[in-house]
Amino acid sequence: MRVWGDGEPEGVRQRAADAMRTTARAAAALGVDTVVGFTGSSIWKTVAMFPPVPQEMVDAGYRDFADRWNPILDVFDEVGVRFAHEVHPSEIAYDYWTTVAALEAVGHRPAFGLNWDPSHFVWQDLDPVGFLWDFRDRIYHVDCKDAKRQVGNGRNGRMGSHLAWADPRRGWDFVSTGHGDVPWEACFRMLNTIGYDGPISVEWEDAGMDRLVGAPDALEFVRRTAFDPPSAAFDSAFSSS
């Protein structure tokens, strides 16, 4: 309620920015080096590109993002904490190319990185493994959440059709980790390849499964599948040294 105040949009934005700066300082005081969150976006409403949207409007959206977030990131830098933006529909970076644009907008500063959640890649037909490789220096946090495509019958659309979660008429749905279309083994192998050694969290969302069943099941799946990299190459025994 403090951030919302009287609801006047710019006042809300300023108070939210203050809250983010406070969050960075609190994280540093607690010994936490990465904060995961969202950025918002002034141009998400233009995602359909109709009515036609001029390029200047899109460019202005990325400038607005940079103008609002660079002062916040200055505080993250001051206290030695990083911000991990979740690539997520409705945010400034929601797919591959918008992630490129967002990083360019803030000058690729190290304080701004990514929270990798592949569930949002599935229904957009993005490659979560290739994303890890291309943005390997920016993967600051990992969320294990899964999604299942339910398209192909000529009725279910990728936009969800304003239908509730677990409705079989949706084109996709969030499901418990290991029950969807994320290629988890390939993803974990790539995380090992890029040297990711940060947290791997389970973000559990599945409207068709009881959480007391699904959450432990997801945790066990991740523990089984997220194997450690080898301590030496498998063929090192044949080395003359």
Residue 68 within a domain: yes
CATH number assigned to the domain comprising residue 160? 3.20.20.150
Q: Is pLDDT above 70 for 54?
A: yes
pLDDT at 100: 98
Tell me, what's the pLDDT at 128? 98
Same domain, 125 and 136: yes
Residue 144: CA atoms inside 13 Å, Cβ hemisphere, count? 26
User: Which of 60, 80, 115 is at the close of a domain?
Assistant: 115
> Do residues 91 and 138 share a domain?
no
Does 107 lie in the same domain as 3? yes
Predicted pLDDT at 240: 67
Run of H or E residues at 84: strand 82-86
Question: CA-CA distance, 118 to 183, in Å (whole number)?
Answer: 9
Q: DSSP letter string over 94-162?
A: -SHHHHHHHHHHTTT-TTEEEEE-THHHHTTT--HHHHHHHTTTSEEEEEE-EEEE---SSS--TT-TT
Q: Containing domain of residue 18, as a range? A: 1-115
Cβ neighbors of 4 (< 8 A, separation 6 or more) are 12, 15
Is 240 part of a structural domain of the chain? no
| pLDDT of 241 above 70 | no
**What pLDDT, in 10s, does the model give residues 116-172?**
999 999 999 999 999 999 999 999 999 999 999 999 999 999 999 999 999 999 999
pLDDT value of residue 16? 97
- Whether residue 235 lies inside any domain: the answer is no
Whether residue 154 sits in one domain with residue 59: no
Please, which pLDDT band fits residue 233 given cuts at 50, 70 and 90? confident
Question: Which residues are bridge partners to 113 per DSSP?
Answer: 84
Task: Tell which of 60, 82, 115 closes a domain.
Answer: 115
Mean pLDDT of the chain: 96
56 and 99 both lie in a single domain: yes
Query: 115, 139, 154: which is the final residue of a domain?
Result: 115
Q: Answer whether residue 1 shows pLDDT above 90.
A: no
